[in-house]
Structure 1
Amino acid sequence: MKVFDAEAVHEALPWSYLIDALSHAHRGSMPLSDVVVQNDPNKTANQFITLPGWVAGGPIAVKMVGVFPGNEKLTPPQPNVQGLVALFDGSTGAPMLVADGAAMTARKTAGDSALAASLLARDDAEVLLVVGAGALAPHFARAHMAARPSLKRVLIWNRTLPKAENVAADLRAGGVNAEAVNDIDAAVAAADVITCVTMSDRTLVKGALLKPGTHLDLVGAYATSLRETDEEALKRARIFVDTRHGMENTGDLGPALRSGLITPDAIAGDHFDLAQGRARGRESGDEITIFKNVGGAHLDVFTAIALNNAA
């Protein structure tokens, strides 16, 4: 059985390889998947989540992950999301690999959004805005730059400016032209690609400020109580998701679907539709596109298979 710590996961899954692997995986069928969520018996915001997935005729993957929102405030800080991913032979049940869950989640989640950017962002996009400066922020910056090599400048915004400055410094150390910004409205108006990786419960990206041709990636609002953009953005854009399954339970999309602002038919396609040619991606240079990163156990399966194939 192969064992991958966090460093080994990141080394084995370079962004370009992972984007291609995810694209290829979506040309097949949706794996059987499920999710089991357990809330902290002590009534905190902490959760433990188990996500099994099984590819027809292929392997089984199980992600076991804790979501502990206060971890980043610990000394020293820890990732808010961490755990393990295990891959099993689908014909015998034998364990094949186990990998660091935080690293796998970072790669899977950012790779999912980067795949969307490769299909929906303009191929001449130059300015990337990362909204949020948590542990996932640098991964999303690098993943989007791999998906759209035309990106030349990265802006980082966070409610706490020093955290944005830390992420920008980390990216600059790796040769990225990155800077922290104070004014999110000005940054939104300047950006060609925007990725939101936050725990916000209020609008951050105002739809009225999106310039023609912008691609907006919504990641952090995983519950209906959370929000990263507003109704104006949803009305102006063609909307895509990685999977329709569970999208009604996410922030941004869920409330809009329940209120009737948009209908399920407003979703132009998911990753399976795009990969298999049932939906068209960007249709013009002026079109605004939104991708909602819903996530799911199927993406953990795809990423674990990519890891196993790479090693």
Structure 2
Amino acid sequence: MTAIFAIDADALEVDPLWLVGRLREGHRQGIGTVERLLLEEPGAANSLLTWVAWQPGAALGAKLATVFPGNEARAAGPNIRSIVVLFDGQNGRPQAVITGESFTRAKTAADSALGADLLARLDATALAVLGAGAQAETQIRYLLAVRPSIRRVAIWNRTAEKAQALVASLRFPGVEIGAIEDAEAAVRQADIVCCVTASRDPVLHGAWLKPGAHVDLVGSFTPEMREADDAAMRRARLFVDTRRFAIGHCGEFTQAIAAGAIAAADVAAELAELCAGAPGRRSADEITLFKNAGGGHLDLMIAQALYDLAAGGA
């Protein structure tokens, strides 16, 4: 029996621009079939997400991810843990088992970075990050890779000490990074706003967004969670990585649609359509908003890329 690769994503050195490029190419090749299952622990915020995807003739895979939001606060390890199994699309043979917390972080950041590369202004210089959890560093690194014009990063977190600790850990030559206690002030100056929280109440208000801003919403994955208010959804031209999951499962959309603030038809394009040439930003002053809702197709594309990298065929 051919050996199955055991890949530790944390041990791989991954070039953000290379991974974003692989994700772009994956969307151009076609998504295939994707399904999602969410289990939530009664009376707690803990959940188990199962993503499966099949790109016929190429590959199929499944990711299991646990989300335990209180882990970091009680020193119980990362809030998100995952394992991915990749299968050969020609014969169904298991090819790889991928572990490591950086897998989901890299997938999520590459998804956002591809959206920003297609939608954010080319001359963006200021980035605001709302949230200072484990995903924040990866988001910053990938967004800086696709927009090297960024020279200032302001980080806000409800617990100011956590934002300060993140700032102290970051080093990007030529980029000024600081913690800020006023989310509104950070957003009003930002060309790109990245939200990476587990909030159930909006941390981003549309009134704060300046003309030409690009918004990247990462945190919500249930109808009860949301990071942006109705005003932000109304002011922006809306884009998603996948319509099905963003509109059906993420609170920014489910709640805004229920309130009549937006309609599902207001989503201008999803990521595959943008990669195929669908219009993105229409003017320098237009506000764009990209919802990073996830999807098993994204995990499958990243799993294929990391398998190629580990096998020496990248």
Distance 1:86 1:204 in 2: 35
Indicate the residue corresponding to 1:60 in structure 2: 60
Question: SS of the counterpart of 1:179?
Answer: strand
Distance 2:121 2:174 in 1: 23
Distance 2:127 2:119 in 1: 14
Question: SS of the counterpart of 1:295?
Answer: coil
Using a 3 Å threshold, how does the CA distance of structure 1 residues 172 and 282 change in structure 2: closer, same or farther? same
Using a 3 Å threshold, how does the CA distance of structure 1 residues 128 and 173 change in structure 2: closer, same or farther? closer
Distance 2:104 2:218 in 1: 13
* Matched AA of 1:209: W
* Matched AA of 2:7: F
Instruction: Spell out, residue by residue over 1:98-155, the C-alpha distance to the aligned partner (whole angstroms, 9 max, x if none).
Output: 2125211101111100000001110000011110000000000001001111111111
* Matched AA of 2:34: S
Instruction: Spell out, residue by residue over 1:186-210, the C-alpha distance to the aligned partner (whole angstroms, 9 max, x if none).
Output: 1110011000000112221111111
Distance 1:114 1:173 in 2: 17
Structure 2 length as normaliser, TM-score? 0.93
Of 247-256 and 190-199, deviating more is: 247-256
Moved over 3 A (4+): 173-176
Distance 2:194 2:172 in 1: 21
Residues 64-75 of structure 1: pairs in structure 2 closer than 5 A: 64-75=64-75
Deviation of 1:174 after TM superposition, in Å, equals: 7.1
Structure 1 length as normaliser, TM-score? 0.94
Distance 1:237 1:53 in 2: 30
Instruction: Spell out, residue by residue over 1:240-279, the C-alpha distance to the aligned partner (whole angstroms, 9 max, x if none).
Output: 00010122220211111223321122111011111112x2
Indicate the residue corresponding to 2:30 in structure 1: 29
Question: SS of the counterpart of 1:64?
Answer: strand
Indicate the residue corresponding to 2:11 in structure 1: 8
Distance 2:176 2:77 in 1: 27
- The answer on 1:298 being equivalent to 2:301 is no
Asked if the contact 1:85/1:101 (under 8 Å) is kept, the reply is no
Distance 2:207 2:49 in 1: 36
Residues 265-284 of structure 1: pairs in structure 2 closer than 5 A: 265-277=265-277, 279-284=278-283
Distance 2:82 2:273 in 1: 31
Instruction: Spell out, residue by residue over 1:55-77, the C-alpha distance to the aligned partner (whole angstroms, 9 max, x if none).
Output: 111111111121111111233x4
List gaps (5 residues or longer) in structure 2.
none
Distance 1:71 1:237 in 2: 34
Asked if the contact 1:64/1:101 (under 8 Å) is kept, the reply is no
Distance 1:159 1:74 in 2: 17
Deviation of 1:225 after TM superposition, in Å, equals: 1.5
Deviation of 1:306 after TM superposition, in Å, equals: 1.2
- The answer on 1:18 being equivalent to 2:19 is yes
Deviation of 1:81 after TM superposition, in Å, equals: 0.8
Distance 1:224 1:249 in 2: 5
Indicate the residue corresponding to 2:129 in structure 1: 130
Indicate the residue corresponding to 1:119 in structure 2: 118
